[in-house]
Amino acid sequence: MGVEIIGKMKFRAKLVDVGCLNHFTRVVNTISKLTKTCTLRLTTDNLFFMLSDKVANGGVSMWCELSQANFFDEFQLEGVSAEANEIYLEFQPENLSRALRTAQNAKSLKIKLTKKHCPCLTLAAELPSLSSVSRVVTHDIPVDVIPRRLWQDLKEPNVPEFDVSIYLPPLKTMKNVVDRMKNLSHHLVVEANLSGEMNLKIETDLVSVSTHFKDLGNPSWGDDASQGPSQDRAAEAMACARVDIKKLQQFLASQQVNPSKAMCNIVNKRMLHFILLHEDVSLQYFIPAVA
């Protein structure tokens, strides 16, 4: 077997604040509800949870970015090489979610990259105990290290040239409506205009249902090129996309944290691009349109 050593990697981090631990856990829970497998990218400043738009995912893709300093007290990383000081791992977020779940009352949580039976992300939590000696729970989560030559496929997606950008109504309301609509239809049309109006519509042989949201507001994107097509747009003209209702429902059901800002960019008949922003986490989710 021919091999070439390209470098060594090291990663370890420590988290002691209960609030940060809870927040981090909720982010991971959200990711685990969105996808079975995803890519974790570690840099010195950030963590990224990524899912690229393969056929296996039904065309959805996801990009979630966390600023590590807002969560971890210690964070040390040595990537594959000096100029590529990053680590890409593929793993099952459900495992991480499960490991974090039982560590919510931990005094401290340490995460590091290890080699056990295979490469692993090892979490060790120090838990309260009845004696002077803490209980320690260790979880070894198997990961696959993604070689550098595949990194180019995992770049941050560009904001698409959208036709309408609109702030979302309260996610809970949207979720309740989409939950019911899912019982009635396989597809749903999302439409919105630059007057802050958004409609969710389904239509089948048995029933048609449309829910109308008003006064949502439209975010301004500054002088981006993407503003171009929408500048000529009539205020009431709706841009729409027809999507698989299960994917939209899954996205809405996965949210564990209330975002400070939530918006949707619609590329007419092509795609829905959701952006959810919190203080220290941003999540982008892309759902393709179906015919």
Partner 1 sequence: MPLSTQSEAGDDQYVLVASLDNAKNLSNILKAITFKDHALFNATANGLKVTVEDSKCLQANAFIQAEIFQEFTIQEDSVSFQVNLTVLLDCLTIFGGSTVPGVTTALRMCYKGYGFPLTLFLEEGGVVTVCKINTQEPEDPIDFEFCSTNVTNKVILQSDSLKEAFSELDMTSEILQITMSPSQPYFRLSTFGNAGNAHYDYPKDSDMMELFQCTKTQTNRYKMSLLKPSTKALALSCKVSVRTDNRGFLSLQYLVRNDDGQICFVEYYCCPDEEVEEE
Partner 2 sequence: MMHVSTERQRASATFQKFSQWLRESEARNGGFWGYSEVWYYGKQNNGTAIDLQTEIQSDAPHTTCEDRTSHKMDCMVTGGNVKVLAKAIHSLSRIGEELYLEPQEDGLALRTVNSSRSAYACFLFAPLFFQKYVPGRNPTFRCKMAVKCVQAVFRSLSSLEKTVERCHIELNVEKSRLTFTLHCKHGLLKTHNLSFQDSESLQAVFDKDSCPNILQAQPRLLVDTVLHFPPSLEEVSVSVSGERVWFRNHVEEEAERSRAMLTELCISAEEFEQFAVSAPTRITFCLKEMRGLLMFAESSGLPVSLYFDEPGRPVVLSLTDSVLEVNFVLATLSEESHPQNHDNTNTDRRARPPPPPDDFMNDDMDFLIAMETTELAAGGSGCSPPQAQDAGMSQLRTRAASEGEEEEEDREEEAEDTGRPPNKKFRSLFFGSVLPTSSQATNQTLRSQDVLASDSEDEDPESS
Binding residues for partner 1 (CB under 8 A) = 169, 172-173, 176-177, 179-181, 183-184, 205-215
Among 117, 158, 206, 212, which residue sits at the site for partner 2 (rule: CB under 8 A)? 117
Stretch that binds partner 2, among 24-32, 52-60, 97-105, 264-272 (CB under 8 A): 97-105
Neighbours of 261 (CB within 10 A): 12
Residue 209 site contact among partner 2, partner 1, none (CB < 5 to 8 Å, cut-off depends on kind):
partner 1
Let me know: does 121 contact 96? Beta carbons within 8 Å: yes
Q: Is 55 in the site for partner 2 (CB under 8 A)?
A: no
Provide the phi-psi class of 93: left if phi over 0, else alpha when psi is between -120 and 50, else beta. alpha
Partner from partner 2, partner 1, none binding residue 145, C-beta < 5-8 Å depending on class: partner 2
Report the b/e string of 218-235 with b at 16+ CB within 10 A. Answer: beeeeeeebeeebeeeee
As a whole number of Å, the end-to-end CA separation of the chain is: 48
Task: Give dist(CA 201, CA 187) in Å, integer.
Answer: 9
Q: Which stretch binds partner 2 (CB under 8 A): 61-69, 144-152, 170-178, 180-188?
A: 144-152
Residue 117 or 212: the one with the smaller Cβ distance to partner 2 is 117
Per-residue binding string, partner 2, 174-203, x by CB under 8 A, is ------------------------------
Q: Which of 129, 173, 204, 208 binds partner 2 (CB under 8 A)?
A: 129
CA distance 189 to 210: 9
Longest distance between any two alpha carbons in the chain, whole Å: 70
From the list partner 2, partner 1, none, partner contacted by residue 55 (C-beta under 5 to 8 A by kind):
none
Tokens 């975010």 belong to 219
**Rounded to the nearest whole angstrom, what is the least distance from the CB of residue 60 to partner 1 in the complex?**
24
Do 107 and 16 meet the contact criterion of CB atoms below 8 Å apart?
yes
Q: Which residues bind partner 2 (CB under 8 A)?
A: 1-10, 12, 14, 74, 80, 95, 98-99, 102, 110, 112-120, 122, 124, 129-133, 135-142, 144-149
